[in-house]
Amino acid sequence: MRGWGMWLFCFICMSLAAKHVLAEEDRPSVTFISPEGIQFISYSELWSRERLEELYQPLLLCEHGEELAVLERVILYPEKSRGLYGPRIGNYNERERTIRLFEVDALPVERTFIHEYGHHFTYYWLKKQEGIYPPELKETNVWSKLRGLGGYPIRWAGSPLPDVHKWDPGEIMAEDYVLLFGTGALKPPDRPEELINYLRHENEYIPPVGLLPAVREYWEKAAGLTHKTPLREPEVKELRIVEQENGAVLQVEFQAVREEAKTDPVRYAVHSVAFGGDETMPVSIKGALCAENGETARCELEWPEGIGRKDTAYMHLAIWAYDETERLLVQSPLYANWYEADNLSGRLSDIPPPGRSRAFFMYFEKKGWCAGRWFICLSTANSEGLRNSGRKRMERCGFP
């Protein structure tokens, strides 16, 4: 009887799968086939064959190897979809070697498409390099060590941690691909200010992949890609508040991201978020009037008068740099460049991330409350020189 039950279950599953395929095949569709044989299929009335061909072109501008030729299909749907982590706008199926994009009539698809291609790239080459797929990754694997994820709440294979999209190593890999090898597919920023939100990694609590040359080299060697020298971290060298005729400005001097100056300039952008020592809302300050001078670069931002109602405020400074010729992008880490500001004297002091500021928590609630708590605890632990296990750090932060 048990065998009959299993047979019936399999029959139902196969019937549902066949019904799904038939429903797909019965729908009106448009197809474009690339020279490599990749089928771009649209079930949307708004996506013509010409638009599918336009979607294919950015893919060629990404850095890729032989894995491009084994991608089989890219399917576009106008409907919504749900996956493991809830609503989704993209999906990669390794067994079918197929990318699916959803809500294509309502949402931009290029960024999602490159992310999903990042799954295809990393699934293919991780299997070649280490004999496993991303869901099988453990903290001891070569890529894991190069990526510097020890001690973070990554959901490695066999981990009891909950499913959170940004902490899935496969999702981190796909986002890494976008930032390392996918910038050529995206329209470069027209103005320096656009750098601030030009291309962001989903998980900014971990080390920025652009600052890890060994990770880029790992994929370059695997896929036979042309080697590029990564940009350096735009490390802050000097920071001061200067009173001028039209008000105070924040002058930021930081390390230039290229070791050797070239004729084509690097674009820089600086973003500061200041938190009052009370419950007042954060103040966002953006600056892009940056000038590179040999080993250093400089930028000025307007500095608001006293932040909050207390004498002390906190500030975080983020710096982006973009080399348009090489299509390389780098940013300062989220856990770096935290300062305490004295509202009376204007003096700035370098500090660990301030975990007690209510405004600080409000800021991170928008990014993911639990991740914010983890980040504060992890940064504080590191600043105290502690080297506890991830579980102990979670317990100190109040996680169950």
DSSP secondary structure string, 53-94?
HHHHHHHHHS---THHHH--EEEE-SS-EEETTEEESEEEET
Rounded to whole angstroms, the Cα distance separating 179 from 170 reads 15
212 within 8 A of 234, measured Cβ to Cβ:
no
Q: Where are the alpha helices (DSSP H) in the chain?
A: 2-26, 49-61, 67-70, 110-130, 142-147, 169-181, 213-223, 358-365, 369-383, 390-396
pLDDT reported for residue 297: 87
CB 209 within 8 A of CB 218: no
Q: Which residues contact 49 (CB under 8 A, 6 or more apart)?
A: 30, 31, 32
Q: Residue 168, Cβ neighbours under 10 Å: how many? A: 21
- Token digits of residue 255: 């390390």
Rg (CA), the chain: 24
Q: Give pLDDT, residue 332.
A: 92
pLDDT given for residue 369 in this prediction: 37
Q: How far apart are CA 207 and CA 152, in angstroms?
A: 10
The answer to whether 302 touches 344, Cβ cutoff 8 Å, is no
- Residues with Cβ within 8 Å of 224's Cβ and at least 6 positions away in sequence, in order, are 65, 66
CA-based end-to-end distance of the chain? 43
Task: Report phi then psi at 91, rounded to 5.
Answer: -160, 145
pLDDT of residue 9: 38
- Report the distance separating Cα 39 and Cα 53, nearest Å: 10
The single residue listed with the structure tokens 């005729």 is 245
Question: Are the CB atoms for 86 and 94 separated by under 8 Å?
Answer: no
What's the CA gap between 117 and 113, in Å, rounded? 6
Question: Do residues 40 and 33 touch, judged by C-beta distance below 8 A?
Answer: yes
Q: Running along the chain, 400 residues long, what does each successive block of 10 average in pLDDT?
A: 42 40 64 97 96 96 97 96 79 97 95 97 98 97 96 94 93 98 89 82 93 97 95 91 81 86 78 75 72 79 69 85 90 90 80 62 48 44 35 37
Cα 329 from chain centroid (whole Å): 12
- State residue 392's pLDDT score: 39
- Does residue 27 contact residue 43 with C-beta atoms inside 8 Å? yes
